[in-house]
Structure 1
Amino acid sequence: MSCPSDNTAAVQQGSFWNGDNINWDTHVIGWAVSGGCAVLTVLISLVTILQHCRNYTNRGEQRQILRILYMPPVYAIISFFSYRYFRDYTYYALIEVSYEAVTLSAFLLLLIEYVAKTGTGHSAEKAMERKDKRPLPIPFCCWRYRPTKAYFMYTLKWSVLQYVIIRPLVSVVGIVCQAYNVLCEAGGFNFHFADAYLEIVDFISISVALYGLFLFYGLTKEELRGRRPLAKFLAIKLIVMFTWYQGFVFTALEGRVIHPTAYWTETNIANGLNALAICIEMVFFSAFMMWGYNWHDYVIPGEPKTNIFRPLWDSINYADFIHEIFGSFKYYFTTLFSSRPAHGPRIADTPNGKMDFGQAFGLHDSVRKYPSKSGGALNPYYASYDDDIRLAPYGPTGGADSPTASTNLRQHLSQSSEGAGYDARGYRRA
C-alpha cells in the first residue's frame, strides 16, 4: 500500500508582498492572524514569567510553574510556523506535542511541592503518613492501595515521568517515519503504517500519566485546598483537549466541508485551520494561566527583586526530572535484587495498631529505633519508651512510689538513654 501524500506537487505562487501592496488572499490573512495571536500570547506569557522570575522566592514551586507557563507561547510559536510552512506541518506538530510531556511532569512535581509543605521536613512522604488505605480511582476501584507504603511515591512519580521519556521518543520515531513516508497520518488508523502503532503507544503512556495525576489529586485534595489545583490542571489539560479534539473535527470534515484547491490538499487546509485555531486559543490560555499561576503568592514585601537569569536557567535545567526518574529506577532495581522489603513499616505494626498524633501530623519521625524489651537489639516499630517501662505492682514493698520502683525506673532510663545526654537519675546532663 502507498501512503496518500499530504501535499500537492504544485508550489504556492502567491507571496505576502505583491509589488508595493500586500496580497491579502485567504492564506495570507490567516498568516497575519496566526502571527499576531502568537505575538500577543508571547507578550502575555512574558509578563507572567518575568514577574515570577523577579519574585523567585520558592525555587521548588516556581521552577515548575515557569515550565508550565512556557506551554502557551511554545504552542503558539510552533503552530504559527506550522501554518506558515504548511507542507512541513507534521514535523512541527510532532515537536509541539512533546512539550505536553514536560508540562504534565512539571505539574506533578508542583503538586508534590505543595503537599510536601504540609509534612515534616518538607517531605511529601511524611504527608502521606496521614493517609489510610483506600480504593484506586475508576476503573480500578475494586483494588485498594496504601499511600504509606515506601514504594507509593516512587510508583506515582514514575507513572507520570515515564511520559516525559515516551512522548519525545514517539515524536522522534514519527519524524523519522515521516521523512521515509511511512508515518501516513493522512491515511487514518491503518496498521500498514507507523502512525497507528505510535498512536497506541502514546495513548497508553498519556493514560497512565493522567491516571497518576488524578490519583494523587484525589489523595491530597485536602492539602491542596487554597492552591487552585483544579484550575491549574485545567489550564494545561484544556490546551491538550482543544488541540486534539479540534484536529479530529477538522480531519473529519475533509472531503465533506473541506475541499482541495490548486495549491492545497484537504489535509493542508485541515492542518492550517487547526494551527490557526491553536494560535488564537493560546491568547486566552496565556491569560488564564496568568490568573491560575499568579505571582502575587510569592511576593515578599520589602524583599529585593531577584535576578531573572537564575530562574530562567532553573526552568530549562531538567536535572530534577533526571534525578526523579533515576531515583525510581534505583529504588526498584535495589528492591528487585535485595532482600530488604519494598515497603516501610505498616501502621498495624505500631504498638496500638495505629499512628500516634506525632506520626500522623509529622511532628517527629514515624520510624525510630528504640531498645526492645529483650535488651540490646533494636526494634524499629516502637514509637516511644512507654512499652518498655513497666512499674512494679502496687503493694507494701513494690508500689509505684516505692524505692524499688524508683530505682528500677532510674536504671532503665540510664540504660536506654546511654549516650543521649541523660544521667543515671534520668535528668539531662549539663
Structure 2
Amino acid sequence: MKYSTVSTLHKQSKSNTAAASGVGAASSIVAVGAKMLDLSTMDRGEITSLASAACVMLTMHFTVQLLSQHLFYWKNPKEQKAIIIIILMAPVYAVDSFVGLLDFQGSKSFFMFLDSIKECYEALVIAKFLALMYSYLNISISKNIVPDEIKGREIHHSFPITLFQPHTVRLNHQTLKLLKYWTWQFVITRPICSVLMITLQLLGMYPSWVSWTFTIILNVSVSLAMYSLVVFYHVFAKELAPHKPLSKFICIKGVVFFCFWQGVVLDILVAMGIIRSHHFWLDVEHIQEAIQNVLVCVEMVVFSVLQQYAFHHAPYSRDVEIKMGLRKKDE
C-alpha cells in the first residue's frame, strides 16, 4: 500500500514536471515569437514586409471564404467557373507582388516576369468576365444565339473609336462578335508582349524607348478591352441589373486599370527623378517596383472584400437550400 502511494506520488511528480516543462517550452516559444515580432527592433523594410505579408493573408482569407461558399453551393458550373477565375485574381496579384517585395534587389527581368504573370492572368479575367455577362444574357456568339429582344439596339461609340467605327451602330450578331474580338485581342497581345519584353531584357536589348513602346501598345490594348466591357455594360444595363453588374465591373476595372495606371505613374515619377530610393525607407535598386508591390498587397485586401458583395454566392445558394428543404420534407 505504501509502495503504491509512493509510486502514485512519483507519477504525479513526473506529470507535474512534464506539464511545467511544456508550459515553460510554450512560454519560451511565445517569448521568442514576441521578440521576433518586436516592432521596435525591426527596421522599416522589415515592418513593410511584415505588413505586406499580413495583407496577403487577409486577401487569401477573404478569397478562400468566398471560393468555398461557391464550391459548396455548386449549381451553375458555367457561371461559377468564371466567377472562381475572377475572384482568384486578388490573391494572384497579392502573392505575386509579395514575392517581388521579398527580393528587393531582383533584376529587371525578374520584376518583368512577375508583372507578366499578373497581367496575363488579368487578360484571362477580362475574357472570363465578358463570358460571364454573355451567360447571364443567354448569348452565345459561337452558336449564333442572340435573343430577339436585344437585337437592333443602338450602340453609341465615342472618340477615338469613331475614327474607325460609325458613331452609332445597331446591335446584332456581328457587333457582339466585334466586342468579343476587342476583348480577346488583349488576351493574345499581353502574353506575346510579355515574351518579347523578357527576351529583349535578357539579351540586353531593352532601352527605355522600347520599354515605353510596349507600355503604349499594352495601354491601347487593355483600354480597347475595357472599352468593350463598358459598351456591353451600358447596352445591357437593364437586363444585367439583377446580377449586380456595376459592382462586378468596378472590381474588374479597379484591379486592371488602377494597378496598370498606378505602375505607369510610378515609372514616370522615377524617370523624372521625383521618386528616388533614398527618399523612402526601401533601400532598393528598382524603387518603383517595390512601391508598386507594397501598394498592390494593400489594395488587394480592399478588392477581396468588395468581391464578397459583387460575386456573392446567394444567387446559387437559394435554389440549393430550397432543394435541400424539399428533400427533408419528402423524407
Per the shorter chain, which TM-score range? 0.7 to 0.9
* 257 and 295 in structure 1: CA distance in 2 versus 1, 3 angstrom threshold: same
* 195 and 249 in structure 1: CA distance in 2 versus 1, 3 angstrom threshold: closer
More helix as a share of residues: 2
How far has the Cα of 1:128 moved from its partner? Answer: 5.1
Local SS of the residue matching 2:238: coil
How far has the Cα of 1:205 moved from its partner? Answer: 1.8
Local SS of the residue matching 2:101: helix
Instruction: Give, as a single letter, the amino acid of the residue that structure 1 aligns with 2:231.
Output: L
Local SS of the residue matching 1:162: helix
- Cα RMSD (Å): 2.8
Local SS of the residue matching 1:183: coil
1:145 corresponds to which of 160, 169, 175:
169
Partner residue, 1:68: 86
Q: Does residue 161 of the first structure (1) align with residue 184 of the second (2)?
A: yes
1:93-152 Cα deviation digits (max 9, x unpaired): 1221211101111110011111118x9xxx88332553325243212285332223x323
Local SS of the residue matching 2:239: coil
* 278 and 63 in structure 1: CA distance in 2 versus 1, 3 angstrom threshold: same
Separation in structure 1 between the aligned mates of residue 167 and residue 288 of structure 2, nearest angstrom: 44
How far has the Cα of 1:80 moved from its partner? Answer: 0.2
Contact 1:128–1:147 (8 Å) recurs in 2: no
1:170 corresponds to which of 193, 196, 208:
193
Unaligned runs of 5+ in 2: 1-31, 325-331
Greater relative contact order (CA < 8 Å, ≥ 6 in sequence): 2
Instruction: Give, as a single letter, the amino acid of the residue that structure 2 aligns with 1:130.
Output: I
Q: Does residue 52 of the first structure (1) align with residue 70 of the second (2)?
A: yes
Instruction: Give, as a single letter, the amino acid of the residue that structure 2 aligns with 1:182.
Output: M
Q: Does residue 38 of the first structure (1) align with residue 62 of the second (2)?
A: no
How far has the Cα of 1:273 moved from its partner? Answer: 1.5
TM-score for the superposition, normalised by structure 2: 0.74
1:24 corresponds to which of 42, 58, 67:
42
Q: Does residue 92 of the first structure (1) align with residue 108 of the second (2)?
A: no
Separation in structure 2 between the aligned mates of residue 202 and residue 225 of structure 1, nearest angstrom: 31
Unaligned runs of 5+ in 1: 1-16, 305-430
How far has the Cα of 1:228 moved from its partner? Answer: 1.2
Q: Does residue 285 of the first structure (1) align with residue 309 of the second (2)?
A: no
Separation in structure 1 between the aligned mates of residue 253 and residue 206 of structure 2, nearest angstrom: 26
2:236 corresponds to which of 220, 232, 244:
220
1:126 corresponds to which of 137, 143, 146:
146
How far has the Cα of 1:269 moved from its partner? Answer: 2.4
How far has the Cα of 1:75 moved from its partner? Answer: 0.3
Matches within 5 A, 1:327-342: none
Q: How many residues align?
A: 274
How far has the Cα of 1:177 moved from its partner? Answer: 1.9
Contact 2:82–2:129 (8 Å) recurs in 1: yes
Q: Does residue 238 of the first structure (1) align with residue 263 of the second (2)?
A: no
Contact 1:79–1:278 (8 Å) recurs in 2: yes
* 163 and 144 in structure 1: CA distance in 2 versus 1, 3 angstrom threshold: same
* 129 and 296 in structure 1: CA distance in 2 versus 1, 3 angstrom threshold: closer
Q: Does residue 116 of the first structure (1) align with residue 143 of the second (2)?
A: no
1:51-103 Cα deviation digits (max 9, x unpaired): 11111111221111111101100000000001011313222112212111011
* 95 and 181 in structure 1: CA distance in 2 versus 1, 3 angstrom threshold: farther
Identical pairs, percent? 27
1:78 corresponds to which of 74, 81, 96:
96
- Which structure has the bigger radius of gyration? 1
Separation in structure 2 between the aligned mates of residue 162 and residue 205 of structure 1, nearest angstrom: 7
Contact 2:155–2:235 (8 Å) recurs in 1: no
